[in-house]
Amino acid sequence: MSGKTLYEKIWEQHVVVAPDGEPTLLYIDLHLVHEVTSPQAFDGLRLNNRKVRRPDLTLATADHNVPTDPLSTPVSDPISKRQLEALGENCHEFGITVFPRGHENQGIVHVIGPELGVTQPGMTIVCGDSHTSTHGALGSLAFGIGTSEVEHVLATQTLPQQKAKTMSVVVDGTLPDGVSAKDIVLAIVGRLGTGGGAGYVLEYRGEAIRALSLEGRMTVCNMSIEAGARAGLVAVDETTIEYLRGRPGVPQGDAFEDAAARWRTYVSDDDARFDAEILLNAAELVPYVTWGTNPAQVVALDGVVPSPENAVDDDERESIARALEYMDLTPGTPLRSVSVDVVFIGSCTNSRIEDLRAAAAVAKGAHVHQGVRALVVPGSRRVKNQAEAEGLDQIFTESGFEWREPGCSMCLGMNPDILSPGQRCASTSNRNFEGRQGRGGRTHLVSPVVAAATAIMGRFATPEEVHA
């Protein structure tokens, strides 16, 4: 008999009941809640006179539609304001800890879980948000759910689930300079396509994944869903343990070592069998940029805009043609010649302290190109405070970047930070769907260093061009 994958280990430890012919009832260790996908779930509880089974395993934050203006600015959109108020009221009524706008622990739900140490190895974690896969970087099984399931978890602390297949995504070798975690995951999504991971849990493995910081691993796991996979995982190692040490949510002192010993078991066995495997060589990876309207439409930054003639079938030909029209791009155009109007550095993909340090190192001593608006939106209040303690805010503002309050912001345009129709944006976020950052807006996904270099050059660029 072969060994177990990390996914199988976590799954087996969370089975409440597995009735014949029915989905397994899986226990949920941590339920993260935000303002957008929860109000209808709380209404459902009230309608049926139900309680939250484990408010002590439930944590809420305001992130999707909080403005990133200074805290003294009121929420101007009455519909957003109502939704933010509803989160506070619902959490108060049902006894759930909540971090409203301005709270010291507030931030993007997938940034605060790990940084507070409440995301821990071996846990099952859900949230009404598809980027919940981010938490898999700590060796936890984390996936996004819809509002009906949010209500289900609130009421029962469980979810009926079908077991997924497993895919080993091996990234061997060493990343070249200037190539980051974001480029790894863009390459993976480009390889798998938007549906290639459907039905699978991805486990990222190999030398290049092991060499990533925990924050880099979060960037990779974050975009698992862009390949169609609900969850991504990275096995626990000393990077995981050291990341968690001393965080508020983990045991302190000797108790931490006991917890760490247990966490170290959250790895796939050497003889574990995966249902599928793909292999990438890190040494061959380069900085990437998406050119189209889904995250798998990606090319090397040194490359050119593709042509419908490159398509393998009619479906792809139509999809490329439609994307080119929406993005207002001509086949054969070098990406480095494409100019941008806006640069967004932020989102649950790339708004953590290491992302901001990397972007600031590029921005330092340079200035945002004339006519370009560049926003930096830290992922959380704690990230913002840390960045300010290191003087990163000064570097950004002196270079002409806007330094803003934490939230999801321009990743999905639910707050006032949106693109105008026709504007082109280099964004460190995760989705380049039509209208994602504002109706008619054109999004190109890039890494934080490419975003910073692009802001300065006014067109897609890499850092060596800034400091040439």
Partner 1 sequence: MKPVQVLEGRAVPLERSDVDTDQIIPSDWLKRVERTGFGRGLFSEWRDDSSFVLNQSEYSGATILLAGPRFGTGSSREHAVWALMDYGFEAIIAPSFGDIFRNNSSKQGLVIVQLIASDVEELSHLVKEDPSLLFVVDVERLSVEVPEKGWSRQFPLDPMTRERLLQGWDDISISLRRSDAVASYELTSVAPSLGGVFDAEGHTRHP
DSSP code of residue 77: -
Residue 46 makes CB contacts below 8 A (sequence gap 6+) with: none
Closest distance between partner 1 and the C-beta of residue 436, in Å? Answer: 5
294 scored as a contact of partner 1 (CB under 8 A): yes
Decide whether 89 or 284 has the Cβ nearer to partner 1. Answer: 89
**Cβ–Cβ under 8 Å, residues 146 and 44:** no
| 225: alpha, beta or left? (left if phi > 0; alpha if psi -120 to 50) | alpha
116 scored as a contact of partner 1 (CB under 8 A): yes
Which of 2, 21, 70, 177 lies at the binding interface for partner 1 (CB under 8 A)? 21
Cα(306)–Cα(311) distance, integer angstroms? 9
Decide whether 203 or 453 has the Cβ nearer to partner 1. Answer: 203
State the CB neighbour count (10 A cutoff) for residue 363. Answer: 30
Decide whether 229 or 285 has the Cβ nearer to partner 1. Answer: 229
Cα(211)–Cα(375) distance, integer angstroms? 29
393 scored as a contact of partner 1 (CB under 8 A): no
**Cβ–Cβ under 8 Å, residues 234 and 221:** yes
289 scored as a contact of partner 1 (CB under 8 A): no
71 scored as a contact of partner 1 (CB under 8 A): no
Among 281, 285, 280, residue whose Cα is nearest residue 298: 285
Largest CA distance in the chain: 65
Cα(23)–Cα(378) distance, integer angstroms? 39
The tokens for 414 are 């639910």
315 scored as a contact of partner 1 (CB under 8 A): yes
Residue with tokens 């560049």: 374
43 scored as a contact of partner 1 (CB under 8 A): yes
**Residues in contact with partner 1, shown as a per-residue x/- string from 237 to 276 under the rule CB under 8 A:** -----------xx-xx---------x--------------
From 216-224, 315-323, 448-456, 457-465, give the range in contact with partner 1 by CB under 8 A.
315-323
Decide whether 57 or 456 has the Cβ nearer to partner 1. Answer: 57
Angle at alpha carbon of residue 265, lines to 283 and 258, rounded to 5° = 120
Residue with tokens 């830290």: 378
Which of 129, 203, 355, 393 lies at the binding interface for partner 1 (CB under 8 A)? 129
Decide whether 150 or 280 has the Cβ nearer to partner 1. Answer: 150
State the CB neighbour count (10 A cutoff) for residue 287. Answer: 24
From 47-55, 176-184, 299-307, 385-393, give the range in contact with partner 1 by CB under 8 A.
47-55
Decide whether 430 or 454 has the Cβ nearer to partner 1. Answer: 430
Cα(294)–Cα(5) distance, integer angstroms? 30
Q: CA distances (Å), 27 to each of 58, 160, 367, 445, in order? A: 13, 9, 51, 35
**Edge-to-edge strand ranges of the sheet holding 30-34:** 97-99, 58-61, 30-34, 124-127, 141-144
Cα(46)–Cα(44) distance, integer angstroms? 5
Which of 77, 341, 390, 398 lies at the binding interface for partner 1 (CB under 8 A)? 77
E strands, 314-418, where? Answer: 342-345, 373-376, 402-403
Decide whether 297 or 454 has the Cβ nearer to partner 1. Answer: 297
Provide the angle, in degrees to the nearest 10, between the axes of the packed helices 78-94 and 39-47: 50
**Residues in contact with partner 1, shown as a per-residue x/- string from 185 to 224 under the rule CB under 8 A:** ---------xx--xx-------------------------
Decide whether 29 or 355 has the Cβ nearer to partner 1. Answer: 29
Closest distance between partner 1 and the C-beta of residue 261, in Å? Answer: 13
Where in 155-184 is the site for partner 1 (CB under 8 A)? 155-158, 160, 162
Using CB under 8 A as the binding criterion, the count of chain residues that bind partner 1 stands at 86
56 scored as a contact of partner 1 (CB under 8 A): yes
Where in 396-455 is the site for partner 1 (CB under 8 A)? 412-414, 431, 433-436, 439-440
Decide whether 112 or 387 has the Cβ nearer to partner 1. Answer: 112
Closest distance between partner 1 and the C-beta of residue 434, in Å? Answer: 6
Closest distance between partner 1 and the C-beta of residue 231, in Å? Answer: 10
Closest distance between partner 1 and the C-beta of residue 254, in Å? Answer: 15
Decide whether 435 or 458 has the Cβ nearer to partner 1. Answer: 435
Decide whether 329 or 414 has the Cβ nearer to partner 1. Answer: 414
138 scored as a contact of partner 1 (CB under 8 A): no
